[in-house]
Amino acid sequence: MVKINWDEYKEYKKYSAKNDNFTILLDFIKSYYNISNPSDIFEILANDETARMMLDKRKIQDAEGLENFIFKY
């Protein structure tokens, strides 16, 4: 199980042109951990307290909802 390295995320965020923390987090996970499967990304997010709040805020309840969000942006 991958745990989000929030210190590395903060460093990654400094160089991002995006404004939304959640989309930056998705890009970070794809880049830093080399994971692109929405199911795997959802599992990582769902098992982290802060990331879970980000999912809840966007009403993303499952991997399919995350996939829809990713393709929407």
> pLDDT for 4-53, tens place per residue?
999 999 999 999 999 999 999 999 999 999 999 999 999 999 999 999 99
- Could you tell me if residue 4 is inside a domain? no
**Looking at the domain assignment, is residue 7 inside a domain?**
no
Q: Nearest CA to 25 among 63, 44, 65? A: 44
Inside any domain, residue 6: no
Residue range of the domain that includes 28: 18-72
23 belongs to a structural domain: yes
Q: Is residue 11 part of a domain?
A: no
- Is 9 inside a domain boundary? no
14 vs 53: CA distance, rounded Å: 21
Amino acid 36: pLDDT: 94
CB 2 within 8 A of CB 35: yes
48 falls within a domain: yes
Per-residue pLDDT band for 1 (boundaries 50, 70, 90) equals: confident
State the total domains in the chain: 1
Distance of CA 12 to the CA centre of its chain: 13
pLDDT of 62 > 90? The answer is: yes
